[in-house]
Chains A and B, each alone.
Chain A
Amino acid sequence: MRIGRRPLFFFILAAICLALVFPTPSEFRLVNLAMAGLAIFWAILLALEELSGIKDANRRAKPDQSRREDRPND
């Protein structure tokens, strides 16, 4: 199982926001945390979308394979 580039991209954004928490002035740290939360949220959703997409693709592929198996002379 391989995570695609988009979830990874959002995970990296989240990591940058979290890495900047320490140098950010304390009154603005909530911004970093909120943005990191949003990035993680999208990363997880995109990862789930990709995983379900792979399952759908497998499901679509199976009937084709079974049809081929029915016709061994093709």
Chain B
Amino acid sequence: MNTEVVLIIAVALAFDFFNGFHDAANSIATVVSTRVLSPRFAVAWAAFFNFAAFLIFGTAVASTIAKDVVVQDVLSNGVIFAGLVGAILWDVITWYIGLPTSSSHALVGGMAGAAVGHAGWRALIASGLQKIAVFIVLSPIIGLLLGFTFMVAIYWAFHRQGKVEKLNHGFRRGQLVSAAAFSLGHGANDAQKTMGVILALLIANHQVAATASVPLWVVLSAHTAIGLGTLFGGWRIVHTMGSKITKLQPASGMAAETAAAATLFFTAHAGIPVSTTHTITGAIVGTGTTQRLSAVRWGVAGRVVWAWLFTIPASFAIAWLAYLPIKTFA
């Protein structure tokens, strides 16, 4: 393995670390905002389950990123590096202004932008991108509908229980489990995207066969990076997710996390790279909708949606621009 490959792997792991820093805040936003755990413990809790995800889930999402976004023969060190630069820069910009955008879609947009810069539009695999694009819309809707359903089920099951304090105590404990499940889903989905990038890099450099699965060292290093990123946390986004979209109680926090976790388990199993941010936002909106539509702060939710819409084009453009000097000087 040459120095260039090692350096790009380091950049990919840095992206994964930053993904943890940026996105994993979503895992703990509800637990922190309902005061089930202190921020410090919540971060450690989420980081542990981010890492543990490799024991449970396969690598279907990694295969989709490596093989279904960009045509294999277009992939080169320069393309992958520029793709990562596009994704990282967009993440940094949105983190700075406190917007919970999707690192996953930034990565897909970045890879696509750099590949188009290298070989034109023929570099893209339409069917793979179509699957990702459809679930950009579907994943928050699934989260929303499941969040609403779980919340109604909780109301239905406990509406006769008069002791609200006792109930809240029970839901606080339940939230520990739901937050852990969501962190597992997050680790499974997001760490696999970096695995996919590294796998693509290894295939491009003939380090592994084109049909190979993800090597264990890649799996472990990606989960370690995202877990460490979570440990360092992104508090600006915790604030947006945990309190600005709708006011959460332990019961609604648990319902939202369970709904989002269920969605992520499905997509990780099916090999669909979705945004954990989209999913948990949809689920939070779903639980808020059980009160009334005005319980959701649609202005904040709308701002989030605009950020989502811009993510793929913006990271695409940044990666395309980042690839220009590489193309010129390489």
A residues touching B (Cβ–Cβ < 8 Å)?
5-6, 9, 13, 16-17, 20, 23-25, 28, 31-32, 35, 38-39, 42
Query: Within the assembled complex, what's the spacing in Å between the Cα atoms of A42 and B290?
Result: 11
Q: Known contacts A6-B289, A6-B293, A38-B149: does B134 contact A13 (CB below 8 Å)? A: no
Q: A9-B293, A23-B130 are in contact. List 4 more A-B contacts (CB 8 A).
A: A6-B292, A13-B144, A25-B127, A31-B266
Which B residues touch A31, using CB under 8 A?
A: 138, 142, 266
Q: Is B148 an interface residue (CB 8 A)?
A: yes
The residue that B134 contacts in the complex, of A9, A24, A42, with Cβ under 8 A, is: A24
Task: Report yes or no: B137 in contact with A20, Cβ–Cβ below 8 A.
Answer: yes
Query: Within the assembled complex, what's the spacing in Å between the Cα atoms of A6 and B137?
Result: 20
Task: Report yes or no: B148 in contact with A42, Cβ–Cβ below 8 A.
Answer: yes
Taking CB atoms and an 8 Å cut-off, the chain B residues in 303-323 that contact chain A are none
Contact with A along B257-298 (1 / 0, CB 8 A): 000000000100010100000000000000001001100000
Query: Within the assembled complex, what's the spacing in Å between the Cα atoms of A25 and B133?
Result: 11
Task: Report yes or no: B144 in contact with A20, Cβ–Cβ below 8 A.
Answer: no
- Taking the closest CB of chain B, its distance from the CB of A11, in whole angstroms, is 13
Interface size bracket, B side: 20 to 34
Query: Within the assembled complex, what's the spacing in Å between the Cα atoms of A35 and B263?
Result: 12
- Taking the closest CB of chain B, its distance from the CB of A8, in whole angstroms, is 9
Residue of A nearest to B292 (CB): A6
Task: Report yes or no: B127 in contact with A20, Cβ–Cβ below 8 A.
Answer: no
Task: Report yes or no: A13 in contact with B127, Cβ–Cβ below 8 A.
Answer: no
Which B residues touch A9, using CB under 8 A?
A: 289, 293
The residue that B145 contacts in the complex, of A13, A23, A25, A28, with Cβ under 8 A, is: A13
- Taking the closest CB of chain B, its distance from the CB of A22, in whole angstroms, is 10
The residue that B293 contacts in the complex, of A5, A28, A35, A38, with Cβ under 8 A, is: A5
Task: Report yes or no: A35 in contact with B138, Cβ–Cβ below 8 A.
Answer: yes
Query: Within the assembled complex, what's the spacing in Å between the Cα atoms of A69 and B137?
Result: 56
Which B residues touch A25, using CB under 8 A?
A: 127, 130-131, 134
5 contacts between A and B (CB under 8 A): A13-B141, A25-B134, A28-B272, A35-B138, A42-B145
Which B residues touch A42, using CB under 8 A?
A: 145, 148-149, 152
Query: Within the assembled complex, what's the spacing in Å between the Cα atoms of A23 and B149?
Result: 26
- Taking the closest CB of chain B, its distance from the CB of A7, in whole angstroms, is 11
Which A residues touch B142, using CB under 8 A?
A: 31, 35
Which B residues touch A38, using CB under 8 A?
A: 145, 149
Task: Report yes or no: A35 in contact with B141, Cβ–Cβ below 8 A.
Answer: yes
Which A residues touch B134, using CB under 8 A?
A: 20, 23-25, 28
Which B residues touch A13, using CB under 8 A?
A: 141, 144-145
Contact with A along B105-134 (1 / 0, CB 8 A): 000000000000000000000010011011
Task: Report yes or no: B138 in contact with A32, Cβ–Cβ below 8 A.
Answer: yes
Which A residues touch B138, using CB under 8 A?
A: 17, 20, 24, 31-32, 35
Task: Report yes or no: A28 in contact with B141, Cβ–Cβ below 8 A.
Answer: no
Residue of B nearest to A22 (CB): B134
Q: Known contacts A5-B293, A6-B292, A6-B293: does B130 contact A16 (CB below 8 Å)? A: no
- Taking the closest CB of chain B, its distance from the CB of A46, in whole angstroms, is 10
Query: Within the assembled complex, what's the spacing in Å between the Cα atoms of A23 and B148?
Result: 26
Contact with A along B25-44 (1 / 0, CB 8 A): 00000000000000000000
Task: Report yes or no: B145 in contact with A39, Cβ–Cβ below 8 A.
Answer: yes
Q: Known contacts A23-B130, A25-B127, A38-B149: does B289 contact A17 (CB below 8 Å)? A: no
Kindly name the residue among A24, A25, A28, A31 whose own CB sees the greatest number of chain B CB atoms within 10 A. A31
Query: Within the assembled complex, what's the spacing in Å between the Cα atoms of A22 and B148?
Result: 26
Which B residues touch A35, using CB under 8 A?
A: 138, 141-142, 145
Residue of A nearest to B272 (CB): A28
